[in-house]
Amino acid sequence: MSDVQLVWPNKHLTLRASGATSYEWLSPADTRLAKPARVDPISVGPLTAASNVLAIGDGLDVLEALASTPVFQGGIRLVYIDPPFNTQVNFRQYNDSMQRAKWLSMMRDRLLALRDHLAADASVWVHLDDAEVHRARAVMDEVFGEQAFVASVIWQKKTTRDSRAAFSSNHDTILVYAPSGPKKWKTSRNLLVKDDALLRNRDDDPRGPWADAPFTAPGYRRAQQYDIVTPTGAVLRPPRGRSWYATEPTFKDLLAEDRIWFPKGGDGSPRLKLFAHQLRGLVPFTVWGSSDTGTNDDAKRHLLALFPDIEVFDTPKPESLLEQIIHIATNPGELVVDIFAGSGTTAATAHKMRRRWVTVERNAQTVADFTLPRLNAVVQGEDPGGVTSTLAWVGGGAFEVVNVSPRFGVAGLGAARTRIAKLAEAGRRNIIAQGA
């Protein structure tokens, strides 16, 4: 808890979704909150601890509804959210104007709900511009504690200049918090590096030279304790006090992609093959240039290629930005959560990086037009943009689609529900046909 706190009207109340787009102030003791949030499945698969989930609804309602399922089992390793910036400008896909008091409560209440599901080594990344970032940091200090602050990352969102402005703003800020504190969190986060001197091609891989890293991780994790059979027939288990680097399904995927190398003529312990774009080892800077992490324009071109017949988001985030965040904050198989999905960049990138994910979008039309078709394309290997080539992504995996209605007001999915249901069913049939 922060010693100095921001004060705003109705701060003592909670802000709940009401109807399709509105919010309603409620006392935390309001008896209407006793009504449980309910998960309404749209796709047919059951929710398990291994599920990826696209949820339609308000983030707070969805978090409360999914709490009764196994989805958050093991904890959330990364929260990345790109919420409305509250710029008082309305865009084609959403209105970016709220009363400041409501915006602050909306952020606080959903961050509090996320906090309850975080893993011990989790981090929370909140992407904003100058409109509210200073107030958001005060709210995050209150929710997670001042000691949880790690960094303010400056991201170069564009390279063009606005000659009409007093200053041509070309950056956003991403606030990074780790509830365990930066000193402890840095021992579990991943590094960044490219060092071609470490690369060799010891097996004539057509993708070029590579480095290698141990396929083990410190600590005991039950899901990462299994037998690995070497090419020579030896059966290996993780060393005492360690686990394999990833779960068995992820290992099998990596093996099929020729990303596992067995030294000593095939008799040694498995090593993970890392190509130039995957080789990491430097502490991240707090300033991220467009050459490394892309721009809004790069992301917009990606969306235009996926959706040539409809108007796309004005300021989408590029997959290369999310790839860097997800790499720093997680390992394969760990859970990434985004409760402001928009066009689905976070989930799409997490899926290509073989992370589990839960993504939430309140606007059913956005889900029908962008989020669901995009994620179907990722699973089906029909999205060539973003980080697809960098990660050699060819498709695979699956996800479930659910709806969580608001507890107050009337907010059906309307005409979008039929399309969403058809898209979910088409995606399911494709997965079955591919044998996934």
The continuous run of DSSP H or E covering 212 comes out as strand 210-214
Concatenated DSSP letters for 370-402?
Answer: IIHHHHHHHHTT---STTTTTTT-------EEE
Question: Tens of pLDDT along 364-415?
Answer: 999 999 999 999 999 999 999 999 988 889 999 999 999 998 888 766 677 7
Token code pair at residue 8: 């705003």
pTM value is 0.81
Token code pair at residue 292: 């490394």
Give me the chain's average pLDDT, please: 91
Token code pair at residue 117: 């599901």
Token code pair at residue 101: 């008091």
The sign of the dihedral angle between the CA atoms of 346, 349, 353, 354 is: positive
From the list 173, 177, 124, the residue with the least C-alpha distance to 150 is 177
369 within 8 A of 92, measured Cβ to Cβ: no
CA 200 – CA 184 distance, rounded (Å): 33
Q: Where are the domains of the chain?
A: 14-188+285-434, 196-278
Amino acid 64: pLDDT = 95
The continuous run of DSSP H or E covering 146 comes out as none
101 within 8 A of 8, measured Cβ to Cβ: yes
370 within 8 A of 342, measured Cβ to Cβ: yes
The most confident of 88-102, 133-147, 179-193, by mean pLDDT: 133-147
Amino acid 433: pLDDT = 55
Token code pair at residue 240: 């005492």
Question: Tens of pLDDT along 301-350?
Answer: 999 999 999 999 888 999 999 999 999 999 999 999 999 999 999 999 99
CA 340 – CA 85 distance, rounded (Å): 11
Question: Tens of pLDDT along 344-373?
Answer: 999 999 999 999 999 999 999 999 999 999
Provide the CB-side half-sphere exposure for 408 (13 A, CA). 16
Position 199 confidence tier, pLDDT thresholds 50, 70, 90: confident
The continuous run of DSSP H or E covering 181 comes out as none
Task: Identify the CATH homologous superfamily for domain 14-188+285-434.
Answer: Vaccinia Virus protein VP39 (3.40.50.150)
Using CB atoms within 10 A of its CB, is residue 39 exposed (0-12), middle (13-18) or buried (19+)? Answer: buried
